[in-house]
Amino acid sequence: MDQAQGAGAGSGFAGRLTFADYHGETFYDEFFDQSGQPRDGVRTLVDRINTLPDGDLLHRQQAIELSLMRMGITFAVYGDQQGSEKIFPFDIVPRIVSAFEWAHVEAGLKQRIKALNLFINDVYHDQQIINDGVVPRSLLEDATSYRPECHGLTPPRGVWCHITGTDLIRHSDGAIYVLEDNLRCPSGVSYVLQNRQVMKRSFPHIFAEMQVRPVVDYPIRLYETLRSLAPDTASPNVVVLTPGIYNSAYYEHSFLAQQMGVELVEGRDLVVKDGFVYMRTTRGHERVHVIYRRIDDDFIDPLCFRKDSVLGVPGLMDAYRNGRVALANAPGTGVADDKVIYAFVPEMIRYYLDEEPILPNVPTYICDREEDQKYVLDHLSELVVKPSNESGGYGMLVGPHSTVEQQAEFAQRIRKHPRNYIAQPTLALSRVPTICDGQFEGRHVDLRPYILYGNDLWVLPGGLTRVALRKGSLVVNSSQGGGSKDTWVIAADQSQLQTQAVDELDHTPSGKLR
Amino acid sequence: MLSRVADAVLWMARYVERAENLARFIDVTLNLQIDLPRPGAEQWAPLISATRGEAAFKKRYGGAVSERNVIEFLTFDRENPNSIISVLHAARENARSIRETISSEAWEQLNAFYHFVRNANPDDVHRSPGDFYQAIKNHSHLFNGVSDGTMSHGEGWHFLNVGRRLERADKTSRILDVKYFTLLPNVSDVGSPVDDLQWSAVLRSVSGFEMFRKRYHLITVERVVDFLVLDREFPRAIQHCLIQANISLHKISGSTPGAYVNPAEQLLGRLQSDLAYRDVRSIIDQGLHEFVDSLQTQLNQLGDAITQTFFDPQPAS
């Protein structure tokens, strides 16, 4: 068996893993406070780990890695020399969130997604927020994922982002901030579900003991969210549309389709005929009502967006426009993925909901604004500068880790295209103990909870904790050496430990593809 | 089900079966070697031609046919599309694109099968090849058992079954064909005492030695052909494979067995009933090689008909 990759697969360290020598340093540590005491809700786990026999935790870590390898939970790393599959590295020590804290986060997320949705709907209709001068028109029109083709479209109930993954971080001041919203094709939830599954096998009793909220009903909630997009159909045919096996998130597309019990299709399996969408089956054409599409807007329909796309379905947007098929997420949501638009989300919350934001943004300098640009150029060595339209953690400047030459290069870029850059203070991300070469060391984490918006808003308890495995690194993206941990949200009461029963789901054979 | 998915399920099954049969092919040659030592080239060359690898083999090894080279070529050579590692890779790629159709256990077993061969040390294999090829057979058995035991026997499973059975029928016919020529260089050899050992090896390579004994007791060429081609009950016999494939084909379309509603059913129906009413004498009179040739041609046509019927359907008007 191949040596599995990940933290803790180090050379036969047989000694004891305890927290006795663990230091938080100046960062906020999720497990221990400044005096070294375990935080609320963490003590049970800490005590358990401290009393495990020698080598036991490492052994469990390795067993989990083997499980993940065997299950084939891999992803392809673009740009990696071997271009091969790797398991997404996993560390056995979970991140723990108290019930009290989660209630705050959940309320903040619901508020935020509600406002974002209203914004996107507004942007593609009357643009009141722009006419009222809250968001400058030029910023909107320069957002690369702004899709004029989506003007006037009316998805059911005015909901555009059915599935959102919002990235949160905790700074050294102990507060939780929103880093960014991902409302095109956010991924990672399959790791959340699989991580939980392997953790439960490893620590079967601790979940009940610590009252950890379950995540197992995500697929059913997702299915119901998707079904709600075709309210006039008794048994809508829901499918997941994937670019195919060479996409880095393919495993997740396949996993979610399987968990929901729906077909996984590629563009070439679908055809638009007489205005309706069909899939090619061994018995001819079958109608499709709802598509959970994991293909970016650009590639989804060569007749509407990029002409050279072979991944999409010609005529899909027409069918969508005429209400003959539902798409989740709706095309056009990428406008809010833009980091400059992100900076205005607190304003959106005030404008649409007349409320103060529960979860704050990270303070953001918009280089397009004259005074912001001046500040940024004067403080490049202290700030993190990001392109407003890319994802994946490439092409940023991390001020404190950069050379004078790199800063000069970025200064030039900023002056040339100020609209394309934002800057934020360097954040001191919180840390969670992680097994590194047989010891516990703190590693920086972020958190991506998932929010579904069907008939109402629902937030998955927990989400994906991504961890920067390289010492000192702040970059948690899977494509650049990050890994993940399980996330445990403690239940506030018994009702939060229940999962949704399979009740009103339609089981009639007519709707299910045979 | 999606045409693309049905296509992938069928080919996944074909490739796994192909891997197992390659192992059996090599195994029977190893066994014959023990019982009947002859110059290496004579024993091993037919395997290359049977798997249509002459050009690729020549390119890689020149003319040097030896046990080592052939085993290397048929097991580990990634540039040979018909090596065990290549077909397992193809099986796995097909499976990967349809994971939500097969069960997770079936996927994991196929994954383990692939990694077993991928991580094998060729030197260890050359040292004790018997163990290695037995392990491959076991992995295949396990995959078959897991997929049969954990996939609902609906349309997807029936496509899997069709792929598996048709590949098996084809490969059993090749084993028979190649060995018939290796073992019987002269017509006068038919019926000689040396036959027994050799045909035993062939029967063992399809795991059929004991079942054969139960039915026929003594070995003769005619009985071996009767068993491997016409037996209705032995799982690796050609007739049995075609019967089972036919049943699955009818389950897919929902049509009545004995009639046909698509070109694939028509072709397979004719092929299977031809075999159902033949006797072994007529096969030997026709010439075993000619019989096998004809069978393989018809199996190829059947493969095309299946593609045309299910994977590339005309849109409903």
10 Å CB burial of residue A246 (0-12, 13-18, 19+) is exposed
pLDDT for position B228: 95
Verify whether the Cβ–Cβ distance A282 to B104 is below 8 Å.
Answer: no
Please report the residues numbered 72 through 111 in chain A whose beta carbons come closer than 8 angstroms to any beta carbon of chain B. 72
CA distance B279 to A340: 81
CA distance A493 to A470: 37
CB contact B6 to A (< 8 Å)? yes
Please report the residues numbered 127 through 186 in chain B whose beta carbons come closer than 8 angstroms to any beta carbon of chain A. 154-155
Verify whether the Cβ–Cβ distance B3 to A282 is below 8 Å.
Answer: yes
Domain locations along chain A? 237-288+290-324, 365-425
**Tokens representing A145?**
């994922």
* Cβ proximity of A61 and A91 under 8 Å: yes
* Cβ proximity of A427 and A396 under 8 Å: no
pLDDT for position B33: 77
Nearest chain B residue to A244 by CA: give it. Answer: B97
Q: Which fold has domain A365-425?
A: Dna Ligase; domain 1 (3.30.1490)
Give the other-Cβ count within 10 Å of B112's Cβ: 16
Residue in the structure block whose two tokens are 């071997």: A82
Nearest to A282 among B100, B119, B155 (CB): B155
Asked if pLDDT for residue A331 goes beyond 90, the answer is yes
Q: Is the peptide bond before A329 cis (omega within 30 degrees of 0)?
A: yes
Contacts of residue A268 in chain B, CB cutoff 8 Å?
4
- Residue count (chain B): 317
Q: A290: closest CA among A242, A359, A223?
A: A223
Best A241, A280, A282, A287 member to test B by mutation, with max B CBs in 10 Å, is: A282
If DSSP codes are grouped into helix, strand and coil, which group holds residue A126? coil
Nearest chain B residue to A258 by CA: give it. Answer: B100
* Cβ proximity of B265 and B247 under 8 Å: no
What amino acid occupies position A24? G
Contacts of residue B310 in chain A, CB cutoff 8 Å?
282
Integer CA distances (angstroms), B70 to A349, A379, B130, B167, in order:
71, 67, 15, 22
CB contact B120 to A (< 8 Å)? no
CB contact A303 to B (< 8 Å)? no
If DSSP codes are grouped into helix, strand and coil, which group holds residue A247? coil
CA distance B136 to B122: 14
pLDDT for position B313: 60
If DSSP codes are grouped into helix, strand and coil, which group holds residue A268? helix
Share of chain A above pLDDT 70, in %: 90
Q: Which residues contact A176 (CB under 8 A, 6 or more apart)?
A: A101, A104, A105, A108, A168, A169, A170, A359
pLDDT for position A236: 95
A424-460 pLDDT, tens digit per residue, is 998 889 999 999 888 899 999 999 999 999 999 999 9
For residue A38, the 8-state DSSP code is B
* Cβ proximity of B167 and B14 under 8 Å: yes
B317 or A34, greater pLDDT: A34
Structural element, H or E, at residue A264: strand A263-266
CB contact B58 to A (< 8 Å)? no
Contacts of residue A2 in chain B, CB cutoff 8 Å?
115, 119
> What is the distance in angstroms between the Cα of B271 and the nearest Cα belonging to chain A?
23
* Cβ proximity of B103 and B97 under 8 Å: no
pLDDT band, residue A355 (cuts 50/70/90): very high
Q: Which residues contact A99 (CB under 8 A, 6 or more apart)?
A: A41, A489, A490, A491, A492, A496
pLDDT for position A425: 92
> What is the distance in angstroms between the Cα of A166 and the nearest Cα belonging to chain B?
27
CA distance B82 to B60: 14
CB contact A273 to B (< 8 Å)? yes
Mean pLDDT of the residues in chain A = 86
Within chain B, which residues score under 50 in pLDDT? Answer: 316-317
| Segment A382-388 mean pLDDT | 88
Asked if pLDDT for residue A501 goes beyond 70, the answer is no
> What is the distance in angstroms between the Cα of B111 and the nearest Cα belonging to chain A?
7
Nearest chain B residue to A68 by CA: give it. Answer: B108
pLDDT for position A6: 34
CB contact B78 to A (< 8 Å)? no
Asked if pLDDT for residue A99 goes beyond 90, the answer is yes
pLDDT for position B168: 97
**Class of domain A237-288+290-324 as given by CATH:** alpha beta
Verify whether the Cβ–Cβ distance A514 to B112 is below 8 Å.
Answer: no
Contacts of residue B6 in chain A, CB cutoff 8 Å?
282
Q: A395: closest CA among A479, A458, A495, A276?
A: A479
> Do the domains spanning A237-288+290-324 and A365-425 agree at the CATH topology level?
no
A249-284 pLDDT, tens digit per residue, is 888 998 899 889 899 999 999 999 999 999 999 988
Nearest chain B residue to A255 by CA: give it. Answer: B100
CB contact B265 to A (< 8 Å)? no
Sign of torsion over alpha carbons A398, A401, A407, A409: negative
> What is the distance in angstroms between the Cα of B158 and the nearest Cα belonging to chain A?
12
CB contact A249 to B (< 8 Å)? no
Q: B47: closest CA among B199, B195, B178?
A: B178
pLDDT for position A84: 56
> What is the distance in angstroms between the Cα of A87 and the nearest Cα belonging to chain B?
14
| Straight-line distance from the first to the last Cα atom of chain B, in angstroms, rounded to the nearest whole number | 19
* Cβ proximity of A386 and A422 under 8 Å: yes
Q: B99: closest CA among A87, A244, A189, A254?
A: A254
Verify whether the Cβ–Cβ distance A70 to B6 is below 8 Å.
Answer: no
If DSSP codes are grouped into helix, strand and coil, which group holds residue A153? coil
Asked if pLDDT for residue A144 goes beyond 90, the answer is no
The size of the A-B interface in CB pairs under 8 A is 66
| Segment A388-408 mean pLDDT | 78
CB contact B99 to A (< 8 Å)? yes
What amino acid occupies position B76? F
Structural element, H or E, at residue A239: strand A238-242
* Cβ proximity of A248 and A78 under 8 Å: yes
What Rg value do the Cα atoms of chain B yield, rounded?
Answer: 20
* Cβ proximity of A24 and A431 under 8 Å: yes
Verify whether the Cβ–Cβ distance B93 to A284 is below 8 Å.
Answer: no
CA distance A101 to A41: 11
Bridge partners, residue A366, by sequence: A422
pLDDT for position A502: 43
What Rg value do the Cα atoms of chain A yield, rounded?
Answer: 23
pLDDT for position A27: 85
Asked if pLDDT for residue A513 goes beyond 60, the answer is no
What amino acid occupies position A311? L
Residue in the structure block whose two tokens are 């809700």: A41
pLDDT band, residue A223 (cuts 50/70/90): very high
Q: What is the DSSP annotation of B219-236? A: --HHHHHIIIII-SSSTT
> What is the distance in angstroms between the Cα of B265 and the nearest Cα belonging to chain A?
14
pLDDT band, residue A369 (cuts 50/70/90): confident
pLDDT for position A21: 73
CB contact B114 to A (< 8 Å)? no
**Tokens representing A449?**
């909870």
Q: Which residues contact B150 (CB under 8 A, 6 or more apart)?
A: B103, B105, B106
A402-415 pLDDT, tens digit per residue, is 899 989 988 998 89
Per DSSP bridges, beta strands A421-425 and A450-453 are: unpaired
Q: What is the DSSP annotation of chain B? A: -BHHHHHHHHHHHHHHHHHHHHHHHHHHHHHHHHHS---HHHHHHHHHHHTT-HHHHHHHHTT---HHHHHHHHHT-TTSTTSHHHHHHHHHHHHHTTTTTS-HHHHHHHHHHHHHHHT--HHHHHHSHHHHHHHHHHHHHHHHHHHHHHS-TTHHHHHHHHHHHHHHHHHHHHHHHHHHHHH-SSGGGTT-THHHHHHHHHHHHTT-HHHHHHHHSS--HHHHHIIIII-SSSTTSHHHHHHHHHHHHHHHHTPPTTS-SSHHHHHHHHHHHHHHT--HHHHHHH-HHHHHHHHHHHHHHHHHHHIIIIISPPPP-
CB contact A281 to B (< 8 Å)? yes
CA distance B291 to A292: 52
pLDDT band, residue A246 (cuts 50/70/90): confident
Residue in the structure block whose two tokens are 């005030």: A350
